[in-house]
């Protein structure tokens, strides 16, 4: 066996420390200093198992058990469990409450992980189309149509799912209405909050959600991978079903899920997250400012207007024009931003870009806006 | 919503830094300094996704793609994927290659996670009993009997599974023979190496394994949770099946599994792990020394003798005797060890104990042996 081990000797990363990172999937996952301190304590394998009596969710040192109760309060649902992330939460729900072959009704903006969770659970997926370009809004009434249609065909519906904030346009959808429709029709309703819980206030009961999945690394300032699943009491029996041979072990959790460092960062960051959610309006203000400024130079915001979430998708014909004459082609934008200490915009892409200034200071937001304007002005 | 957030403000842990930890499940998961350095770089959420083209296993910065190839070489199988741990690897295999209702034949010492993985996959489990007290050895020939018996009854067998080193007695089982039987009978063979890969040399092909699951946090000096699944090419189609709608995404991985810090520590620790595996004989020597010394004071090692793995299970009637007269009852042992800076032995338990001195220096091993002897001598 010949393995060159040198490549593992200095694994480094320059994002965050040296660069302003505009990648939307990463802006909500940056650790505050409190969480970094906890990392030193819990980086070893199985570090949360020192005082375990057989169940991760019942560990009280560190306070995982209390944290799960606090999280249930935070999202206003009854019971919570740690997961490896939003997708694993969706899979747990689909796999435990649906039957093979059931239909899951999802929004047309659903994340790919919703589809693969359903495929892994051997379910069928039907989408509720958005209203398309340029807003891509989901009309809750269309859920009713799709459900009626499936019922007319005698199909078995196992779950209604809505992406609270989608990963393409950052639209905040009307969960309450979709939840109401699901409830009236008698189907369980899962709200995918990977992009919302930890950023903005989310009240599960008010939104008529039976299940909420959240993403620690995406929106709760935690190290990846980890997440949370919260749900209403009435689903506990199915979701928390225990092993026949090992009655303490929950089958869908395979006993224990997030058995290590990430969940510790999730807990250590929780006070920070609870605070920042209260300042959500300010984040939306920053986002709208960016949109206003960059539309002045020819960018066009896609999705619902005005923005209600930090993820921005722009059509950028002006960048595309420049790319046609620049010898670096589509890469000019990435490279020019890099020179200015800005990263996280997809390399080589100029027709459409995604970005977020979530959690940046106003000073940094200004800097980013001016840098982008500068690149466009000097190159067009 | 009223949440007391103070409890999350100083999450600390005194194991490892202040205490010699004898907990067998934790000794193989301690991070070397190289991995700790990488933690600083990659602690933010989705940190490994900076240069992702859509698939975790293809990321080359950090070198995940190369790491998976190196790991395949390390365990001598064809293809590898990151997982969240050994149990998640077992579930992936069972869920993708078996059909609902199939039988899985496992050893009688199998870890509970083997059972819950099978339950979650909706499979039936039949065990091959060990030879019982005191060695609890698994006789490979018995696999043949169990398989024949199932075949006679017309049952569909989906998988043969062996726990390479079990978590109760630390027996190293004869994988090669079990693998040969599986092969002759025409069934796929999974070797659960949670307690072996990363500690001792493991050669998948030599052991006739079709699949190997490994545990990063348990035996590869990685932060939890993470692990690896390696397998033979011929199973790629089933295990790596991709989504219909998103053809780049692997269904059983839900797209991506270990998307964050733990896999970085796994890679950063890999050179250390490759080296320590070469010194496995020395670890076995330490273990045998502990057994020899503690049997002198009335401990009795369970499992196969002499030890071939660092996990030791002792029957400890002498501790039980002391507990009867000590006013602290069963807790005296835990407390006396704690005074001496030693932890990781289950609190209150005196009939049987599990321990490991894996990775301790000889000096520390001596210290532990003398401390335990001291406690027993002065209390009996
Ligand atoms: C809407 C949405 N759902 C789910 C996910 C996946 O989250 P996780 O990595 O926690 O599974 C993402 C990530 O980009 C997302 O944007
Ligand atoms: C034999 C064996 N298999 C599997 C596991 C579980 O490993 P993981 O946490 O990686 O799923 C353990 C953990 O104690 C074990 O001892």
Stretch A158-179: mean pLDDT: 98
Q: Which of B107, B111, B112 to mutate to test the pocket of ligand 2 (most atoms within 8 A of CB)?
A: B111
Q: Could you tell me if A19 and A93 lie in one domain? A: no
Pick A224's closest partner by Cβ from B12, B47, B249.
Answer: B47
CB contact under 8 A, B223 and A62: no
- Interval A94-139: pLDDT, tens: 999 999 999 999 999 999 999 999 999 999 999 999 999 999 999 9
Taking CA atoms, A145 is separated from A127, A142, A185, B22, B359, in Å, by: 11, 5, 11, 61, 63
d(CA B95, CA B251) in angstroms, rounded, equals 11
| Residues A316-341, mean pLDDT to the nearest whole number | 95
Q: Would the CB of A195 count as within 6 Å of ligand 1?
A: yes
Is A194:A225 a contact under the CB 8 Å cutoff? no
**Model pLDDT for residues A258-314, shown as the tens digit of each residue:** 999 999 999 999 999 999 999 999 999 999 999 999 999 999 999 999 999 999 999
Are A108 and A135 in contact by the 8 Å Cβ rule? The answer is no
Quick one: tokens of B277? 């595996």
A82 close contact with B: CB closer than 8 A: no
**Residue with the two structure tokens 């026949």:** A244
For the segment A238-245, the average pLDDT, to the nearest whole number, is 98
Indicate the SS3 state at residue A23. coil
Q: Predicted confidence band at B16 (pLDDT cuts at 50, 70, 90)?
A: low
The answer to whether residue A34 is domain-embedded is no
Cα–Cα distances (Å) from A40 to A37, B40, B43, B223, B345, in that order, read 6, 10, 11, 11, 23
Neighbours of B188 (CB within 10 A): 22
Specify the number of domains making up chain A: 2
Q: For residue B34, is it within any domain?
A: no
Domain with B254 in it: 43-276
Q: Cβ distance A44 to B30 under 8 Å?
A: yes
**Residue A354, strand partner residues:** A313
pLDDT at A18: 80
Structure tokens at B157: 């067998």
- Sign of the torsion angle spanned by Cα atoms A15, A21, A23, A24: positive
Whether A137 and A167 map to the same domain: the answer is: yes
Those residues whose C-beta lies under 8 Å from the C-beta of residue A232, and which sit 6 or more positions away, are A77, A78, A79, A210, A211
Residue A77 lies inside a defined structural domain of this protein: yes
Does residue A14 surpass a pLDDT of 90? no
Distance CA B300, CA B133 (A): 12
DSSP assignment of B313-327: EEE-HHHHHHHHHST
Structure tokens at B246: 């998103």
Q: Which residues of chain A lie closer than 8 angstroms to B3, CB-CB?
A: 70, 73-74, 274
Select the residue of B39, B113, B267 nearest A254 (Cβ to Cβ).
B113
Judge whether A15 is closer than 8 Å to chain B, CB to CB. Answer: yes
Inter-chain touch B63–A91, beta carbons under 8 Å:
no
Q: Is A28 annotated as a binding residue?
A: no
> Do A313 and A266 belong together in one domain?
no
Q: How far away is chain B from the Cα of A48, in angstroms, using its nearest Cα?
A: 9
Same domain assignment for residues B183 and B290: no
Show which of A276, A305, A327 is a domain's final residue: A276
Whether B213 and A256 have beta carbons less than 8 Å apart is answered as no
Q: Which residue intervals of A241-311 are DSSP H helices?
A: 261-278, 280-295
What is chain B's length? 380
Q: B340 Cβ partners below 8 Å, 6+ apart? A: B371, B374, B375
A207-220 mean pLDDT: 98
d(CA A204, CA A231): 9
Strand partners, B128: B107
For residues B355 and B310, what is the distance between their CA atoms, to the nearest angstrom? 8
Q: In which residue are the tokens 């819980």 written?
A: A197
Q: 3-state DSSP: chain A helix, strand, coil percent, rounded to 5?
A: 40, 15, 40
Let me know if residue B36 belongs to a domain.
Answer: no
Is residue A270 within 8 Å of residue B6, measured between CB atoms? no
In this structure, are A223 and A314 located in the same domain?
no
Note whether B173 and B269 are same-domain residues: yes
Q: What is the mean pLDDT of residues A148-159?
A: 98
What tokens appear for A49 in the block? 């198992």
Per the structure block, which two tokens stand in for B234? 């011929």
Domain CATH for A235: 3.40.640.10
With 90 as the cut, is the pLDDT of residue A1 above it?
no
* Inter-residue contact A186 to B228 (CB < 8 Å): no
Same domain for A190 and A76 = yes
Indicate the Cα dihedral angle A86, A88, A94, A99, nearest 10°: 170
Rounded mean pLDDT, A185-195: 98
Query: Helix or strand or coil: residue A146?
Result: helix
Instruction: Confirm or reject contact between B87 and chain A (CB < 8 A).
Output: yes
- Kindly state whether residues A23 and A127 are assigned to the same domain: no
Q: Which residues contact B317 (CB under 8 A, 6 or more apart)?
A: B298, B300, B351
Residue B294 shares a structural domain with residue B251: no
**Res B15 pLDDT > 80:** no
Nearest bound ligand to the CA of residue A356: 1
- Classify the phi-psi angles of A23: left when phi > 0, otherwise alpha if psi is within -120 to 50, otherwise beta: beta
Which of B6, B11, B192 to probe by mutation at the A interface, max A CB count within 10 Å? B11
Both B332 and B225 in one domain: the answer is no
pLDDT higher than threshold 80 for residue A232: yes
User: What is the rounded average pLDDT for all residues in chain B?
Assistant: 97
- Stretch A141-160: mean pLDDT: 98
Q: Would you place residue A152 in the very low, low, confident or very high pLDDT band (cuts 50, 70, 90)?
A: very high
pLDDT of residue A343 exceeding 80: yes
Answer whether residue A36 is part of any domain: no
Select from B29, B43, B125 the Cβ nearest to the Cβ of A45: B29
Inform me whether the C-beta atom of residue A199 falls under 8 Å from chain B C-beta atoms. Answer: no
Q: Which residue of A has its CA nearest to B258?
A: A225
A14, A33, A68, A265: which is closest to B223 by C-alpha? A265
B positions 201-240 inside 8 Å of A (CB): 216-218, 220-226
- What ipTM was reported for this prediction? 0.97
Chain A nearest-CA distance from B269, in A, is: 8
For residue A186, what are the contacts with CB-CB under 8 A and spacing of at least 6? none
Any binding-site annotation on B217? yes
Q: Please spell the DSSP secondary structure of B238-263, one letter per residue.
A: HHT-B-SSSTTSBTTTTS-S--SHHH
Q: Given A257, A276, A295, which residue is the final one in a domain?
A: A276
The answer to whether the beta carbons of residues B146 and B105 sit under 8 Å apart is yes
Q: CA-based Rg of chain A, rounded to a whole angstrom? A: 22
Asked, for residue B38, whether it belongs to a domain, the answer is no
B128 to each of A216, B114, B310, B341, how far by Cα in Å?
41, 14, 24, 41
Question: Residue B231 phi/psi, 5° resolution?
Answer: -160, 170
What's the first-to-final CA gap in chain B, in angstroms? 54
Q: Which two tokens stand for residue A277?
A: 């959610």
Ranges of beta strands (E only) in A72-165 are 79-83, 103-107, 124-128, 157-163
Residues of B in contact with A62 (CB under 8 A): 11, 13
Q: Does A309 contact ligand 1 (Cβ within 6 A)?
A: no
Structure confidence at residue A150 (pLDDT): 98
Rounded to the nearest angstrom, the minimum Cα separation between B338 and chain A is: 14
What is the Cα–Cα distance from A34 to A39, expressed in whole angstroms?
Answer: 9
Q: Where does ligand 2 bind, in terms of residues with CB under 6 Å?
A: A 259; B 25, 85-87, 111, 113, 163, 166-167, 192, 194-195, 215, 218, 227
Residue A147 has a pLDDT of 98
Closest Cβ–Cβ partner in A11, A119, A245 for B244: A119
- Residue B38 to residue B25: CA distance in whole angstroms: 23
**Both B145 and B270 in a single domain?**
yes
Q: Where are the beta strands (DSSP E) in chain A?
A: 20-21, 79-83, 103-107, 124-128, 157-163, 189-192, 211-215, 227-231, 300-302, 312-315, 342-343, 352-355
A15-24, B166-175, B271-280, B281-290, range with the lowest pLDDT: A15-24
DSSP letter (8 states) at residue A246 = S
Mean pLDDT, chain A, whole residue set: 97
Rounded to the nearest angstrom, the gap between the alpha carbon of residue A96 and the centroid of all alpha carbons in its chain is 22
- Residue A21 — φ and ψ, nearest 5°? -95, 115
Task: Please check if B164 is assigned to a binding site.
Answer: no
- For B115, the closest of A28, A29, A245 (CB atoms) is A245
- What pLDDT, on a 0 to 100 scale, did the predictor assign at position A16? 66
Q: For residue A345, what is the nearest residue in chain B, using CA coordinates?
A: B50
Q: What percent of chain A has pLDDT over 90?
A: 96
Cβ(A166) – ligand 1 distance below 6 Å: yes
CA distances from A162 to A124, A349, B169, B333 (A): 15, 29, 48, 54
Cβ pair A223:B44 closer than 8 A: yes
Instruction: Write the DSSP assignment of B143-162 as a string of letters.
Output: HHHHHHHHHHTTPPEEEEEE
The minimum CA-CA distance between A83 and chain B, rounded to whole Å, is: 11
Contact at 8 Å (CB) between A354 and A311?
yes
pLDDT at B199 over 90: yes
Q: Extract the tokens encoding A245.
A: 């041979």
Contact A252 B120 (CB under 8 A): yes
pLDDT at B380: 86
Classify residue A38: in a domain, yes or no: no
Nearest to B8 among A100, A220, A270 (CB): A270
Which pLDDT tens digit goes with each residue over B325-376? 999 999 999 999 999 999 999 999 899 999 999 999 999 999 999 999 999 9
- Distance between B26 CA and the closest CA of chain A, angstroms: 6
pLDDT, position A294? 98
B35 belongs to a structural domain: no
| CB-CB neighbors (< 8 A) of A8 in chain B | 34, 63, 67, 267-268, 270-271
Looking up residue A347, the CATH number of its domain turns out to be 3.90.1150.10
**pLDDT at B2 (0 to 100):** 83
Q: Is A268 annotated as a binding residue?
A: no
User: Which of residues B122 and A380 earns the better pLDDT score?
Assistant: B122
Q: What is the largest CA-CA distance in chain B?
A: 69
Q: Which residues contact A19 (CB under 8 A, 6 or more apart)?
A: A338, A341, A342, A343, A344
Per DSSP, the three-state class of A105 is strand
HSE (side-chain half, CA atoms, 13 Å) at A337:
26
- In a shared domain, residues B112 and B168: yes
Q: From the CA of B84, give the closest atom in ligand 2.
A: 10
Q: Which of B224, B239, B242 to mutate to test the interface with A (most CBs of A within 10 A)?
A: B224
Tokens 């990172």 found at: A21
- d(Cα B327, Cα B339) in Å, to the nearest integer? 17
Which of A216, A243, A276 is a domain's end point? A276
pLDDT at A2: 83
- Whether the per-residue pLDDT at A196 is higher than 80: the answer is yes
A26: three-class secondary structure by DSSP: helix
Tokens matching residue A229: 């699943």
């Amino acid at each position: 066996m010949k393995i060159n081990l040198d490549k593992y000797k200095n694994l480094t990363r320059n994002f965050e420390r040296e660069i302003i990172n505009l990648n939307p999937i990463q802006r909500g996952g940056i650790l505050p200093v409190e969480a970094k301190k906890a990392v030193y304590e819990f980086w070893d394998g199985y570090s949360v198992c020192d005082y375990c009596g057989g169940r991760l969710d019942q560990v009280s040192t560190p306070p995982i058990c209390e944290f799960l109760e606090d999280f249930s309060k935070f999202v206003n649902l009854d019971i919570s469990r740690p997961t490896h992330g939003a997708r694993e939460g969706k899979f747990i729900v689909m796999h435990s409450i649906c039957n093979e072959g059931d239909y899951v009704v999802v929004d047309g903006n659903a994340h790919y992980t919703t589809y693969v969770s359903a495929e892994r659970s051997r379910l069928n997926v039907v989408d509720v189309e958005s209203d398309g370009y340029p807003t891509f809004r989901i009309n809750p009434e269309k859920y009713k149509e799709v459900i009626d249609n499936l019922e007319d065909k005698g199909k078995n519906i196992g779950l209604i799912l809505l992406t609270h904030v989608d990963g393409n346009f950052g639209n905040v959808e009307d969960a309450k209405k979709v939840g109401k429709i699901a409830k009236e029709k008698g189907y369980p309703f899962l709200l995918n909050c990977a992009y919302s819980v930890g950023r903005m206030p989310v009240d599960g009961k008010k939104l008529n959600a039976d299940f909420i999945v959240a993403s620690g690394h995406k929106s709760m300032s935690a190290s990846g991978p980890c997440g949370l699943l919260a749900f209403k009491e009435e689903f506990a029996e199915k979701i928390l079903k225990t092993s026949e041979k090992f009655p303490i072990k929950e089958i869908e959790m395979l006993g224990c899920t997030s058995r290590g460092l990430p969940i510790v960062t999730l807990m250590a960051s929780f006070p920070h997250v609870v605070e920042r959610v209260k300042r959500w309006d300010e984040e939306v203000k920053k986002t709208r400012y960016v949109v206003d400024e960059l539309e002045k130079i020819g960018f066009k915001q896609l999705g619902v207007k005005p923005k209600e979430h930090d993820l921005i998708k722009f059509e950028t014909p002006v960048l595309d024009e420049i790319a046609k004459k620049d010898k670096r082609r589509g890469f000019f934008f990435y490279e020019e931003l890099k020179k200015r200490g800005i990263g996280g915009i997809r390399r080589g892409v100029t027709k459409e870009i995604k970005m977020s200034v979530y959690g940046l200071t106003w000073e940094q937001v200004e800097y980013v806006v001016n840098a982008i304007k500068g690149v466009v002005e000097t190159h067009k």
